[in-house]
């Protein structure tokens, strides 16, 4: 019996990625154990909250008891009853998880297994499936120079499926956008401002990017977000960005401009390597300063191994 011939996209998973490939990462997500920080809650009860400031919402008011935090006084009820009352808070069952994913032009580069943009989509999809399996509410902010998409945190598998669809679309559409004049392009400031706007205290935020050409407000944004949320910065790179091959002239293009790199010159190779090393060290220093976890992943790494065994800077 003749079998139907399937159209195979040889670029799928390399320069862009299909929804079906991202859906298949559900299996890997079941094997992935993401790290959790535990910090003491500032609210009544003194229990340990799984995440700093995590999803504490008002439950009820009760008569004041010695030892209650005065910051939790319910002044409205106190004034109405002429007796001191304290607010009681309870921990939300579902934690908001936000994925901030960069699809700007520098992400559409790769010399090994895939583009950095494809790796970003895979990382985001795996984290999305893991969050869904843990019962967390999933949201995302996807952006490029040309487009911007926000998904507010929602529970259920449908939120992960919607995000996977959008990740696949961004991995394709960003390669098909016309070249815009610089004044018509959005830089990272817009995406950072939107992240500040949509984030609720107690969220877990993953920032997925190569962090090239970030705006001057990047450090202040990380600092503000980390005060009331858990953050993890996931830096993506390609081996050719870390070190030039020995001896040769190499043409490099971003699709619109082209340049030639001289790898015969030892000083040029060293300078090239030092620029990447300095960029990575600056990110690590910033993460330590702002209390953000750090992870680096390369396009030549196996996804699950890289996420579980990557180089982390702990809080």
Mean pLDDT (whole number) for 132-142:
94
Mean pLDDT (whole number) for 263-283:
87
Closest to 125 in 3D by CA, of 142, 143, 108: 142
Give the pLDDT score at 265. Answer: 78
**Rg of the chain taking only CA atoms, in angstroms:** 23
Distance CA 274, CA 276 (A): 5
Write down the mean pLDDT value for the chain: 82
Q: Could you give the domains of the chain?
A: 19-37+94-309 (3.40.50.410), 58-91 (no CATH)
More confident residue, 60 or 290: 290
Give the pLDDT score at 5. Answer: 40
Give the pLDDT score at 180. Answer: 54
Q: Determine which of 36-45, 49-58, 267-276 has the lowest per-residue pLDDT on average.
A: 36-45
Residue 20: Cβ-neighbour burial (10 angstroms; 0-12, 13-18, 19+): exposed
pTM of the entire predicted model: 0.77
């Amino acid at each position: 019996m003749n079998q139907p011939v399937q159209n195979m996209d040889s670029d799928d998973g390399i320069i862009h990625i299909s929804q079906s490939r991202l859906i298949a990462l559900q299996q890997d997500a079941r094997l992935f154990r993401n790290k959790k920080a535990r910090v003491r809650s500032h609210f009544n009860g003194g229990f340990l909250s799984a995440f700093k400031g995590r999803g504490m919402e008002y439950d009820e008011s009760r008569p004041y008891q010695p030892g209650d935090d005065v910051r939790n006084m319910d002044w409205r009820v106190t004034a109405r009853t002429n007796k001191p009352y304290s607010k009681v808070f309870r921990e939300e069952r579902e934690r908001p998880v936000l994925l901030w994913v960069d699809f700007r032009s520098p992400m559409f580069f790769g010399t090994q297994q895939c583009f950095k943009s494809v790796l970003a989509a895979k990382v985001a999809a795996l984290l999305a499936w893991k969050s869904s399996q843990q019962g967390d509410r999933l949201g995302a902010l996807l952006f490029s120079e040309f487009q911007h998409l926000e998904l507010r945190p929602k529970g259920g598998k449908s939120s992960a499926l919607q995000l996977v669809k959008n990740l696949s679309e961004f991995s394709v559409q960003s390669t098909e956008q016309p070249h815009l004049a610089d004044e018509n392009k959005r830089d990272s400031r817009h995406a950072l401002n939107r992240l500040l706007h949509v984030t609720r205290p107690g969220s877990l935020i993953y920032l997925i990017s190569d962090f090239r050409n970030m705006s001057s407000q990047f450090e202040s944004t990380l600092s503000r977000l980390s005060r009331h949320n858990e953050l993890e910065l996931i830096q993506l790179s390609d081996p050719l960005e870390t070190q030039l091959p020995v001896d040769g002239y190499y043409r490099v293009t971003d699709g619109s401009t082209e340049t030639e790199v001289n790898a015969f010159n030892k000083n040029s190779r060293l300078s090239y390597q030092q620029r990447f090393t300095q960029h990575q060290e600056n990110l690590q220093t910033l993460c330590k300063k702002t209390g953000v976890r750090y992870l680096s992943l390369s396009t030549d790494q196996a996804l699950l191994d890289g996420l579980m065994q990557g180089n982390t800077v702990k809080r």
